[in-house]
Amino acid sequence: MSKDILVKKSGIEGKGVFAKREFTNGEVVLKWNNPHELTLKEIRGLLKKDKKYISCFKGKCVLMQAPEKYVNHSCEANTYARNFCDIAKRNIKAGEEITADYTKEVPDLNLKCKCGSKKCKGIIKT
């Protein structure tokens, strides 16, 4: 795991990933650890609770591993995914939870949103 992040209990849900230092807009916050590419059959066979750990780019879907699988959803996410990395979409303060917008990356998802942001949509649906 990177020395720049920490996995710990989250106020959003379960475990979360937190910044141990400041990150600037456009900086790589987290490189994904050995993502496993999934077939369509494997995706269909996953339990609903595990589907939130899938991320898709350019027709390839991967099952995210720790620590990146602990990046929680937020309707006001502070990162976006590119090339199997989470990139800061704004400056992120040390101690802040790293969040992503699952609606941009996770297929076939329909979950209650617990992000607590002012712009929370109440449901994560793709």
In this predicted structure, what is the pLDDT of residue 1? 63
Which CA distances in Å does 35 have to 54, 63, 93, 107?
Answer: 10, 6, 27, 16
In this predicted structure, what is the pLDDT of residue 102? 86
Q: What percent of the chain has pLDDT over 70?
A: 97
pLDDT digits (tens, 9 = 90+) for 38-86: 888 998 898 888 887 888 777 788 888 899 999 999 999 999 998 889 9
Q: How far apart are CA 126 and CA 104, in angstroms?
A: 8
Instruction: Identify the structural domains of the chain with CATH numbers, from first to last.
Output: 5-125 (2.170.270.10)
104 or 92, which is more confident: 92
